[in-house]
Chains A and B, each alone.
Chain A
C-alpha cells in the first residue's frame, strides 16, 4: 500500500474523529452484549460480524497513528498499521452491515457502531474500495438530478399510465397526479412504482389534499455508499424542488433510509438548515384517518396480520405508533412480532445489501431471525413500510416457504379506503 493512501486515511481519521467517536472507541469494555443484539453475528457466528470487532478495526489504526503509545509500542495496545489486509477486513465488515443500530440499543454505553462504520466507509471511498453497483446507482441518481429536463418526459409518460388507473380506482375522471404544482401544501417524494405513486395519489385524492409529486425519489445510494457529498447532493435536489414550488412540507414515502436521510441527516452533511417540515406518509395517513378526511372499511382484513418495524423508520427515527394505529383500523387480528418497536430484529435487507448480488446468500442467511419471528407470530400478512424491507421479506418468503403476503401500509390503506365522490365535483365549483 502506498504511503500517500496511508496518509489520506490518517487525515480522514484526524478530520472525522470527534469527541463522540473517540468516546465510542475508548469506552468499549468488550462486554460482548452486542453479540446477542446483532442478527448477522448470531446467524454466522463469525467474529468479524461482531459489532465490537467492527469498531475494534478502526480503534486499532486510531491507536497506531493518533496515540503516542500506539506509535511507539504497538503491541501493548493492539495497534496496527494500515495495509491491504486491514482494508479488506474493513470492507467486509462495513458494507455488510445493514446499519440497523440494534447493537447500539443494547450496548450499555450506547456505542453507535453504525456511525463508526460511516467513518469506515469514508475511508474506503477514499481508497476507491466500495461495491461498484452501489456507486453506479448513486452516480445514476445524481445524473438524473442534473439532467431532469431530459428525463422528465420519461417520468411524465409513466405517470400518465398511473393517472388513468387512478381515475378508474377513485371513479373520478378529474383525478390527477400533479407534478410541478407551485403552491401545493405537500411535496410528496415517492418511490417510482405504482405501489408508492398510485396508492398515495388515491389517498391524497380522497383526502382532498393539495399536493404535488416530486420528480425525485427518496432512495439515496450515496448514503449507502458512505459518500456524504453524494448523499447530500442527492437529498438537496428535493429541498431545492420544495423551495422552487413553495410547498409547506415534504412528505416522504414508505422508504426507511430515505426518510431518515431527509429528517435527520441532511442538515448535518450539508451544513445547511432545512426550512421544511419533513413527515413520513405514515404520519400523514394517520392524521387523515383521525380527522376523518379518509374513511376506511374497518376490519377489512380478517387474516392474521403483523407489522415489521423498519430499523430506519422505527429504532432510528422514532416512528412506532402511527402504523399500528392505522393497521388496527383495517385488520381484526393484528399481532405484534416479539420483540418489536425499538427491539425489533432487522430483516437483514437494509444498508444497500439488496443491491449487492454477491451478498445475497449472506443476506438470506442473516434474515433467519426475522423468519423465526414471523413464524412465531402465526401471521399470514406481513406489513412493512420500507421498500428494502419488503424486498427482503419477499425473498425470505420464497426461500423459507413462509406462506405470507407482504404489503406496504399505503397499499392496505388505499385498498381499504371508502371511495366517495364529493357531492359537488370540485372541477365544477369555479
Chain B
C-alpha cells in the first residue's frame, strides 16, 4: 500500500512533455538516499514506458505505478 511507504521526495511533473519527466526524475533521484523513495506524478502518457525503461537501465526500481484519472503516479526507489 502506498500509504505504508515513506515518501522521501515528491515530484510534480504534471504538464511536462517527453523527455522532461524522465529528465526531472533522473536529476532529482540523487536527492534521496539509496533506498529512498521518490513519488513522481506525470500527465505525459509516454512517461509510463519512459520512466520504466529509465529505471531499468539505471538500476533503480519502480515500486509502483498507477493511473489515477489523467495522472500517472510512480513510486521509484533509488537503488544506487
Contact = CB atoms under 8 A, between A and B. Distances in A.
Given A151-B49, A217-B46, A355 B19 contact: yes
Say which size band chain B's interface belongs to: 20 to 34
A137 B19 contact: yes
A192 B46 contact: yes
A158 interface: yes
A396 to B, nearest CB: 16
A137 B17 contact: no
B56 A143 contact: yes
Say which size band chain A's interface belongs to: 20 to 34
Interface string A163-199: 0000000000000000000000000000111110000
Contacts of A191: 17-18, 46
Given A157-B48, A158-B48, A221 B27 contact: no
Contacts of A75: none
A159 B46 CA distance: 10
A401 interface: no
A374 interface: no
A272 interface: no
A140 B53 contact: yes
Given A140-B22, A391-B20, A154 B52 contact: yes
- Most chain A CB neighbours (cut-off 10 Å) among B19, B54, B70: B19
A158 to B, nearest CB: 3
Nearest to B27: A357
Contacts of A195: 17
B14 interface: no
Contact of A151 (B18, B53, B67): B53
Contacts of A144: 49-50, 53
A161 B70 contact: yes
Given A144-B49, A217-B46, A193 B18 contact: yes
A393 to B, nearest CB: 13
Interface string A128-155: 0000110011011111100100010011
A141 B45 contact: no
Contact of B57 (A136, A158, A355): A136
Given A355-B19, A391-B17, A192 B56 contact: no
A191 B46 CA distance: 8
B53 A147 contact: yes
5 contacts: A137-B22, A137-B23, A137-B54, A155-B48, A157-B67
Given A151-B49, A217-B18, 20 more contacts: A132-B26, A133-B27, A139-B58, A140-B50, A140-B56, A142-B57, A143-B53, A144-B50, A144-B53, A151-B53, A155-B49, A158-B45, A191-B46, A193-B44, A194-B45, A195-B17, A221-B19, A355-B20, A355-B23, A391-B17
Interface of A: 132-133, 136-137, 139-144, 147, 151, 154-155, 157-159, 161-162, 191-195, 217, 219, 221, 354-355, 357, 387, 391
